[in-house]
Amino acid sequence: MAAPTWPHPLIAREGWPWLAGAIALALLATWGAGAWSLPLWILAVFVLQFFRDPPRVVPPDPRAVLSPADGRIVVVGRARDPWTDRDALKISVFMNVFNVHSNRAPVDGTVRHVDYKRGAFVNAALDKASTENERNALVITLPDGRELTCVQVAGLVARRILCYVGVGDRLARGQRYGFIRFGSRVDLYLPPEATPLAQVGDKVAATSTVLATLPPR
């Protein structure tokens, strides 16, 4: 297995202001209220664990489709990719507030299209979140010409989708490309010939878990 090739801190940069604010409040409360500050220290620990961003080992198989997020599989099945208007294998990962929320590229490829849509904030574990919630889609062209769509979907509490890549950018498997705050999901629309390796209910880890494999082309 190959080691991650991009540098990043163990605490996601998106969380630095939140963590600094939580610690500052806890320190101020400790100075003014002593033991009554404990709830604020618990809040600071929660913020710390939410924004953790550990490095991950990248599996070596170039045909492997890697999980773009930590969480639990809530969908594995046939669907229509609304961004490419093609039949697809859909795999969805639900992230609760205790999961790592960095999003990572599932494949090597080039971003062909980016599409952000405003929407609702229903529970991201529900199927209708894919079509009703606020979301940001990347259509990625693989080196062999096939395409895959990776969609960040906001959740009931999540109110901010962050995406750091645009059209023409090249992605490497496991590369960090975005972040969603406070509970959400990521939908993958794979070529229909992909073989799923994940099942509904499985717990997965971004980059290190293989969700499916693509046949040679």
Q: Is the per-residue pLDDT at 179 higher than 90?
A: no
Is the pLDDT higher at 14 or at 9?
14
Q: Is 184 labeled as catalytic in the residue annotation?
A: yes
Which residue type occupies 122? Answer: V
Residue 5, pLDDT score? 42
**Selected residue with higher pLDDT from 171 and 131:** 171
Active site residue: 37, 102, 184, 208, which one? 184
What does the pLDDT look like over 31-63, one tens digit per residue? 877 777 788 878 777 777 677 788 888 998 989
Cα distances from 166 to residues 102, 130, 146, 152, in angstroms, run 17, 21, 19, 14
Phi-psi label, residue 159: left if phi above 0, alpha if psi -120 to 50, beta otherwise: alpha
CA 56 to chain centre: 14
pTM higher than the cut 0.85: no
Torsion (CA) 208, 210, 216, 217 in degrees, nearest 10:
-90
